[in-house]
Amino acid sequence: MIQNQIKKPFSEHLFEYRHHEQKKLIFSLSITSIALILELIGGYLTNSIALLSDAGHMFTHVFALLIGLVAIIIARKPPCHHRTFGLYRAEVLAAFINGLFLLVIVGIIIYEAILRLLYPVEILGLEMLLIAFIGFLVNLISIMILRGSQKENLNIKSIFYHMFADAISSVGIVIAAVVIMYTNWTFIDPFVSIGISIIILLWAWGVLKDSARILLETSPKGLNIDMISDDLKKNFQEIRELHNVHLWSITPDMLVFSAHVQINQAKITSKQEEVIQKINDYLSQKYNIIECTIQICLENGSEICNLSP
C-alpha cells in the first residue's frame, strides 16, 4: 500500500516561546510564598484550622506554580528525532500531578476539621480576619496576573482555577472570622474548612478529567470522529467515506487528525493533492487541527492509493 500523506507543518504557536507566561508564574510564585508564610504563622497563633487549611491550600499553589514553571521550561524544548511532538505534554502532566496532589490536601483538611469539631479550641477572630484578608488579596492579584493565559494552556488553567478556588475560600474564612468575633461560634471554623475542601475537590476532579483525557489520547472535549467525518462528507462532495479516523490532542489547543479518505471519482473536479489541501485548510480553520495525515483511496478499495507530492 502506498500511503498518501501530506503533513501540515506545526503552526507557530506550537513552538511559542513561553517567556511571558513564565514571568507571570514567577511573580505569582513570589507573592504566594509570602502569603503562605503569613497564613502558617497566623493560623498557628490564632488556632484557626480554617486559616491553616487555607495555608495548606496556599502551599498547593506554591507547589503548582513550581511544577508549572518546570513544565514550561521542559515544554519549550523543540521536537527532535525521538521526541517528534516535542515535550508539550509536560504541561498536561503537570496539571494532572497538581490535581492528584490536591486530593491528598483535601483528605488532610477534612481530617483536621473533624478533629477540631471533636476537640474545639479558642480562636482569635480579629487576627484570623486580618490574615485571611491578606490571603484573599494575594489570590486576587494572582488571578489578575494569570487571567487570559488559562484559555490556551491547561497547565496555567489548573493554576488559575486553583487561585480562583482559594479566593472563594478566603472570602469564606473572612466571613467565618467576623461571625466568630461577634458570636464566639468557633464551630464555624471547621465547617468553613470542609466547605473549602469541597471546592478544592470539585476543581481537582475537573483538572484530572481534562488532563487524563489528553494523556489517554481520547478525542478532545466536545469533539469526536463522527462529528468531523460527517462534517467533511457534507462539505466535500469528493469524499465518499472515511475509514480509520483518529483524533487526539497534544495539548488542549493542539489537535492532530488522521484518516483514510475514500474518494468518489465521479465527483472529483480537481487534482487529489488539491483536495487534500482543501481538507487540511478546512480542518485547520474550523477545528484548529495543527497536523493532518490523509491517505487517499479510490472507490474500489483502500489497497489502491495514489501518492501526492
Domains for the chain: give ranges and CATH numbers.
12-215 (1.20.1510.10), 225-305 (3.30.300.90)
C-beta of residue 170 within 8 angstroms of C-beta of residue 132:
yes
Q: In Å, what is the CA distance from 300 to each residue of 189, 262, 263?
A: 72, 9, 9
- Computed over every residue of the chain, the mean pLDDT equals 75
Read off the pLDDT of residues 120-130 as tens digits, 9 standing for 90 and up: 767 666 777 77
- Facing residues of 295 across strands? 260
In which element (H, E) is residue 117 found? helix 89-118
C-alpha cell belonging to residue 161? 482555577
Bridge partner list, 242 = 261
Q: Cα-flanking dihedrals φ and ψ of residue 241, to 5°?
A: -160, 160
Distance of CA 263 to the CA centre of its chain: 38
Residue of 112, 108, 68, 85 lying closest to 207 (CA atoms): 68
Q: Check residue 151 and give its pLDDT.
A: 58
Residue with cell 509536560: 90
Residue range 130-180, pLDDT digits in tens: 777 777 787 788 778 777 655 556 667 777 776 776 777 777 777 877 887
Torsion angles phi and psi, residue 9, rounded to 5: -65, 155
pLDDT tens-digit profile of 192-210? 778 878 877 887 888 888 8
Mean pLDDT of 230-247: 88
In this structure, what DSSP letter does residue 77 have? S
In the DSSP assignment, the letter for residue 79 is P
How many residues would you count in the chain? 309
Q: How far apart are CA 208 and CA 215, in angstroms?
A: 10
